[in-house]
Amino acid sequence: MNQLKLPRIIIGAMRLGSWGAHLSKNDFNLFVNGCLDMGLTAFDHADIYGDYTSEAQFGELLKENSSLRSQLHLITKCGIKMMAENRPDHHIKSYDSSANHIISSVETSLKNLSTDYIDVLLIHRPDYLMEPDEIAKSFTELQNQGKVLHFGVSNFTPSQFELLNASFELVTNQVEISLLKRDALDDGTLDQCMRYGIQPMAWSPLKGGAMFTEMADPGVIRVTKVGDALCEKYNCELDTLLYAWLLRHPAHILPVTGSSKLERIVAAKKALDITMDREDWYRLLEAAAGNEVA
Ligand SMILES: NC(=O)c1ccc[n+]([C@@H]2O[C@H](COP(=O)([O-])OP(=O)(O)OC[C@H]3O[C@@H](n4cnc5c(N)ncnc54)[C@H](OP(=O)(O)O)[C@@H]3O)[C@@H](O)[C@H]2O)c1
């Protein structure tokens, strides 16, 4: 059975390096240690982040302090082949979930992250050419070798999840969920996670920051208006409220933060102290949808 136990909030690494904040080594160190001090020990990576450079940036920390490893949960992903200077053999952006690619990608991630095991490996996006039994075989091999403890998927439809899960027991589906991106509430993704007793992970929980930058977006205007009143009631800022909305769902969603700023991670964590009233949850949903939802 699935014995994966992760903290309720996961720290996303996508924007920490060259795809975002370009944190210096010192700031990177401070950020990661600040998260650990808050008990937020799970970090979400992917082979491709920073054009295949971000895992190694994180690995530098472990190289210098290998005792950190036992305090961490490392999640990473494979299966997207991007064109990049350091991947001259990729001639087109494509998906590859072949056993060869999964295994070689894991070997590279282990090396880059300076670790001998990954806690959770996700197939990053569904591959039209995926062969469930071949994937299951590579997962079993990696698990038997102790190189990966658990396996999941990302951006899979419920039927794609079902197809692979029939060959290998998956522990999560990481999908985009926020008040402004609510497909998972209706397309069966969250129902399926509840049925299997696994926790979905929500990427872009603040819609990639759009909640704070797309001020002319009608959905943002409506959510901000309703949110401002609720922030007073719950004594928090809007970002905390948006996390609390996700956390209130009975699927026990694990939000994956995107910020590179510790104070914004503190704001995310504060949401763990809020239990949103049922009607307030619906108030925000109605505001996001722009119409009655019941
Ligand atoms: N599986 C997938 O396909 C997939 C796809 C995308 C992402 N992910 C994962 O999900 C993680 C989160 O995604 P995301 O980065 O899109 O998350 P997000 O939290 O929705 O967006 C993060 C962005 O919002 C900004 N932001 C956060 N709080 C803010 C605030 N209070 N005020 C103003 N701006 C704020 C951040 O800037 P600052 O840094 O300045 O705070 C950052 O640019 C990624 O790191 C990655 O691990 C997975």
pLDDT tens digits, one per residue of 35-89: 999 999 999 999 999 999 999 999 999 999 999 999 999 999 999 999 999 999 9
Q: Is the pLDDT of residue 111 over 50?
A: yes
pLDDT tens-digit series, residues 266-294: 999 999 999 999 999 999 999 999 999 99
207 CA distance to ligand 1 middle (Å) = 7
Q: Is the pLDDT of residue 235 over 80?
A: yes
Determine the Cα–Cα distance for residues 112 and 106; give it in Å rounded to an integer. 10
What percent of the chain lies above the pLDDT cut of 90?
A: 99
pLDDT tens-digit series, residues 123-165: 999 999 999 999 999 999 999 999 999 999 999 999 999 999 9
Domains of the chain, first to last: 10-171 (3.20.20.100)
Tell me if 135 CB under 6 Å of ligand 1: no
Is the pTM of the predicted complex or chain greater than 0.85?
yes
Tell me if 115 CB under 6 Å of ligand 1: no
Ligand 1, pocket-test mutation among 73, 206, 211, most atoms within 8 A of CB:
206
Which residue has the least CA distance to atom 10 on ligand 1?
A: 203
User: What's the average model confidence in pLDDT over 89-117?
Assistant: 98
Which residue has the least CA distance to atom 26 on ligand 1?
A: 209
Determine the Cα–Cα distance for residues 13 and 203; give it in Å rounded to an integer. 11
264 CA distance to ligand 1 middle (Å) = 10
Tell me if 262 CB under 6 Å of ligand 1: no
pLDDT class of 2 with cuts at 50, 70, 90: low
Element (H, E) at 202: strand 201-203
Residue in the block written with tokens 């999908």:
175
Tell me if 21 CB under 6 Å of ligand 1: yes
286 three-state secondary structure: helix
Q: Is 117 a catalytic residue?
A: no
What is the DSSP annotation of 206-266? TGGGHHHH-TT-HHHHHHHHHHHHHHHHHTS-HHHHHHHHHHTSTT--EEEE--S-HHHHH
Alpha helices by DSSP H, the chain: 25-37, 49-52, 54-64, 99-113, 132-144, 158-165, 183-186, 189-196, 210-213, 218-234, 238-247, 262-270, 278-289
Ligand 1, pocket-test mutation among 10, 11, 15, most atoms within 8 A of CB:
15
Q: Which atom of ligand 1 is nearest to the CA of 178?
A: 20
pLDDT of res. 3: 77
